[in-house]
Structure 1
Amino acid sequence: MSSTDVVEEYIQDERDPSRSPSVPITGLMVQYYHVCKRELWFMANGIDIDRETTNIQRGTHVDETSYGTSRRSFMIDNRIQLDILDSGDVMEVKVSSALEKPARMQLLFYLWYLREIHDIDKDGVLAYPTERKRESVILDETSTKDVESTVRGVLDVVGRDSPPQLEKKPYCGTCLYQDLCWM
């Protein structure tokens, strides 16, 4: 089966209520794929981090207290949580722009998912309130290819019997999975 067929099959599975995708991809999975494929594998295989850590709570606090009156949250297909601004744009809020590509890809995945699965076209806004920074994100032909490549990659990583090879990254020291990788 070609990689294009994997994406098309995923779209068909998502669109048809009588089928369910073999891997229900979430925005967090897309983010993890672009941060660390091992982190994605651990999370997808039920090895989850402690959600009560300071960094996770800080991110949750920033998300919950920013743009509160100008956005509404929606849960789509019991796993995709979107924030929609009064303007109609989809918003993703992050504490820091340090991992900008993973955040952008997460938002692009949401835009792609809306378009491909639900026939809804939206633009996005990536916001870093603690940095007072916002940027527009648009799903175009190039970013569509990037998202579809990411979907293929997520499906590949999650389908493996063991985690991807260990790769030292600059942020490994702050990763909540570091004890699993560097014991």
Structure 2
Amino acid sequence: MPLTGTHIAYLHTCHRKLWLFANGIQMEHTSDIVAEGKLIADSTYLDRARKYTELAIEGIKIDFYDAKNKVVHEVKKSDKVEQAHFAQVKYYLAVLVRNGIDQPSAIIEYPKLKQREIIEWDNQYLADATLWELQVETIVKDESCPALVKKSICKSCSYYELCYVNE
């Protein structure tokens, strides 16, 4: 199974969400919150499509990649799950390095917050990526879905109704 940035982000957000997603139960298409995030990404930096390229490699898809400067641009709606955003982008950078791109970097942009985070390359990302791949594989190959762990972000999750149907 080729891993995507979504797998890595969900690994750092919720193992249950990761398992459901990886096992074909995808709820993002029903979520107004996900739709709003896509709208922000599609409407905020309109000149990006002309300046940068979309890059698909090893299962990941980077929407805005500045090949000249080796910079991944990632747009996010909110910083509520910032750790997951960082992990996703670090994973992208590790995949780029594994495929011969030297010293890539990334910018995570939060247009609604008027904030941006710069991620510089660190060799540790290669080891992190390998560990995360193993963790994802272990979780998604388990025959049973991980137990519900109540978190503050649950109410804004596209899987909320599925997870809390009996409550």
**Could you say which TM-score interval applies, normalised by the shorter chain?**
0.7 to 0.9
Q: Distance in 2 between matches of 1:105 and 1:144?
A: 12
What residue in structure 2 maps to residue 3 of structure 1? none
In the alignment, is the contact (CA less than 8 A) between 2:4 and 2:60 conserved in 1? yes
Which of residues 61, 64, 80 is equivalent to 2:60? 80
Which of residues 150, 156, 167 is equivalent to 1:174? 156
**1:92 partner amino acid:** E
What residue in structure 1 maps to residue 14 of structure 2? 36
Check if 1:62 corresponds to 2:44: no
What residue in structure 1 maps to residue 127 of structure 2? 145
Q: Distance in 1 between matches of 2:142 and 2:121?
A: 29
Q: Kindly indicate which of the two structures has a greater share of residues assigned to helix.
A: 1
Give CA-to-partner distance per residue, 1:37-60, whole Å, 9 cap, x none. Answer: 100100110111041432111111
Compute the displacement of 1:109 (Å). 0.6
In the alignment, is the contact (CA less than 8 A) between 2:33 and 2:158 conserved in 1? no
Q: Which runs of 5+ in 1 are unaligned?
A: 1-22
Check if 1:102 corresponds to 2:84: yes
**2:60 partner amino acid:** I
- Identical columns (%): 29
Q: Distance in 1 between matches of 2:100 and 2:124?
A: 19
**1:97 partner amino acid:** D
Q: Which runs of 5+ in 2 are unaligned?
A: none
In the alignment, is the contact (CA less than 8 A) between 1:73 and 1:81 conserved in 2? no
Q: Distance in 2 between matches of 1:92 and 1:54?
A: 20
What residue in structure 1 maps to residue 27 of structure 2? 49
In the alignment, is the contact (CA less than 8 A) between 2:65 and 2:71 conserved in 1? yes
SS at match of 1:84: strand
What residue in structure 1 maps to residue 101 of structure 2? 120
Q: Distance in 1 between matches of 2:58 and 2:8?
A: 17
- TM-score, normalisation: structure 2: 0.86
What residue in structure 1 maps to residue 139 of structure 2? 157
Equivalenced residues, count: 160
